């Protein structure tokens, strides 16, 4: 059994190629697999680690997409067309780098981003707290004092 791109060796017999992309709290797996008749197809899996409050254990929520060779070209055309539309709707900006998004990450929700007040398209007003956060990024964290810990 061969290893995958990341050096792993747990590979099923029908796995031909595997590549993964870590994206925040999600991991995307791009796997090329083969059928018994040696036809190749693509699976794209989104995996998110979740916590089950009932039993107190973590589990992985997975969503899979199977893409077959006869659909590759049209799928790519539609994907690229959709990405072009997003770029157009974003005023020509192709994508927001993940590092820029990390500041707006909503850790309470686990997989969505907070709407920031300065992200509107006309570039208008920022709140006072936003401007103070730009000067001192630690202001974005909650105001917690640990001085009273251990004093009973």
* CATH code of the domain in which 52 resides: 3.10.450.700
Supply the pTM of this predicted model. Answer: 0.56
Rounded Cα gap, residues 135 and 22, in angstroms: 30
In sequence order, which residues have a C-beta less than 8 Å from that of residue 25 and are 6 or more positions away?
A: 48, 49, 110, 111
- What φ, ψ does residue 23 adopt, rounded to 5°? -135, 90
Do the strands 15-23 and 57-67 form a parallel or antiparallel pair, or are they unpaired? unpaired
Tell me if 78 is assigned to some domain.
yes
Tell me if 83 is assigned to some domain.
yes
Write down the pLDDT at residue 138. 43
Tell me if 44 is assigned to some domain.
yes
DSSP state of 19: E
Tell me if 140 is assigned to some domain.
no
DSSP state of 81: H
Domain hosting 31: range is: 1-92
User: Which segments of the chain have a pLDDT < 50?
Assistant: 1-4, 6-7, 108, 111-146, 148-149, 152
């Amino acid at each position: 059994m061969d290893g995958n791109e990341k050096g792993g060796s747990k590979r099923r017999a029908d796995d031909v190629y595997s590549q993964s992309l870590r994206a925040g709290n999600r991991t995307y797996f791009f796997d090329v697999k083969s059928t018994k008749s040696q036809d190749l197809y693509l699976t794209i899996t989104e995996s998110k680690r979740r916590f089950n409050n009932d039993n107190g254990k973590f589990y992985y929520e997975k969503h899979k997409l199977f893409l077959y060779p006869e659909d590759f070209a049209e799928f790519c055309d539609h994907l690229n067309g959709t990405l072009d539309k997003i770029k157009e709707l974003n005023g020509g900006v192709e994508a927001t780098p993940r590092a820029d998004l990390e500041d707006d990450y909503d850790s309470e929700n686990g997989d969505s981003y907070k709407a920031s007040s300065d992200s509107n398209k006309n570039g208008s007003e920022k709140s006072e707290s936003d401007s103070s956060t730009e000067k001192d990024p630690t202001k974005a964290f909650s105001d917690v004092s640990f001085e009273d810990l251990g004093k009973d």
